[in-house]
């Protein structure tokens, strides 16, 4: 039987000004679609913080937990830093604090070299969404796939994380993050269904760029 918990509602918190409020809402809507039945509502918020180039990732998750509590995703344009990446975070572009239900995403390495068109902006937004999907998946108990794992639609499962150490950030974003779809593989879908009431949603009607494929 699926569990019902505080994870059903997600706080999405903007830290900085890298994306608009309407784009933040769009990310929330896509997360609800990808976690159909597991996450039922989201709430948008803004966290005022000093303009900084980098911030300690663990400290940020603790601040967000104190201010917002519950299930929270923070999206920041600051660089996420950690003293021990492997022990605490998967990569500096995103991570989850194992002591609470707070995950964070940094847009710093997800932006194209320059945003000169709507296509560039949609590419950035798609990357933010895919990293957010991966980290929120961790909040719900999903684990990394160290190899390529595919959903039924042929896209990479959002939890796929192969070869980061070999690729480096730039190539990792272009090959792994860009290659991820917004639908989960069978193993992840089964886990989410059993524990959180997830239902694969095949009614995708959103614009290209942030559009999931059919399950």
**Does any domain span residue 161?**
yes
For residues 185-189, give the mean pLDDT: 96
Give pTM, 2 decimals: 0.86
Which pLDDT value is given to residue 212?
Answer: 41
SS (H, E, C) 113-138: CCCCCHHHHHHHHHHHHHHHHHHHHH
Q: What mean pLDDT value characterizes the chain?
A: 84
**Does any domain span residue 143?**
yes
**Does any domain span residue 209?**
no
**Does any domain span residue 155?**
yes
pLDDT in tens, 19-55: 889 999 999 999 999 999 999 999 999 998 766 778 8
pLDDT in tens, 102-140: 999 999 889 877 777 888 889 999 999 999 999 999 999
Q: In what order do the strands lie in the sheet with 41-47?
A: 41-47, 9-15, 72-76, 102-106, 94-96
**Does any domain span residue 204?**
no
pLDDT in tens, 9-22: 999 999 987 788 99
**Does any domain span residue 215?**
no
Cα-based torsion angle of the residue sequence 93, 127, 141, 28 in order, rounded to the nearest 10 degrees: 120
pLDDT in tens, 163-177: 665 667 788 888 889
Residue with tokens 């917002």: 68
**Does any domain span residue 1?**
no
| Domain residue limits at 42 | 6-196
Q: What is the CATH number of the domain that holds 183?
A: 3.40.390.10
**Does any domain span residue 127?**
yes
CA distance 7 to 9: 5
Helix (H, G, I), strand (E, B) or coil at 77: coil
Q: How many domains does the chain have?
A: 1
């Amino acid at each position: 039987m699926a569990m019902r918990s505080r994870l059903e509602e997600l706080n999405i918190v903007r830290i900085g000004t890298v994306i608009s409020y309407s784009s933040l809402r769009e990310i929330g809507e896509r997360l609800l679609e990808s976690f159909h039945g597991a996450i039922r509502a989201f709430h948008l918020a803004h966290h005022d913080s000093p303009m900084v180039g980098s911030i300690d990732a663990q400290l940020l998750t603790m601040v967000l937990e104190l201010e917002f509590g519950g299930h929270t995703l923070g999206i920041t344009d600051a660089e996420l830093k950690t003293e021990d990446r492997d022990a605490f975070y998967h990569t500096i572009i995103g991570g989850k604090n194992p002591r609470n239900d707070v995950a964070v995403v940094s847009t710093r390495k997800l932006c194209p070299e320059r945003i000169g068109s709507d296509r560039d902006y949609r590419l950035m937004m798609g990357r933010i969404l895919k990293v957010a999907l991966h980290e929120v998946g961790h909040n719900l108990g999903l684990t990394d796939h160290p190899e390529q794992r595919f959903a039924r639609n042929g896209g990479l499962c959002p939890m796929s994380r192969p070869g980061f150490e070999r690729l480096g950030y730039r190539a990792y974003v272009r090959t792994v993050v860009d290659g991820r779809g917004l639908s989960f593989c069978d193993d992840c879908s089964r886990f989410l269904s059993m524990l959180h009431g997830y239902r694969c949603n095949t009614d995708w009607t959103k614009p290209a760029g942030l559009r999931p494929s059919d399950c």
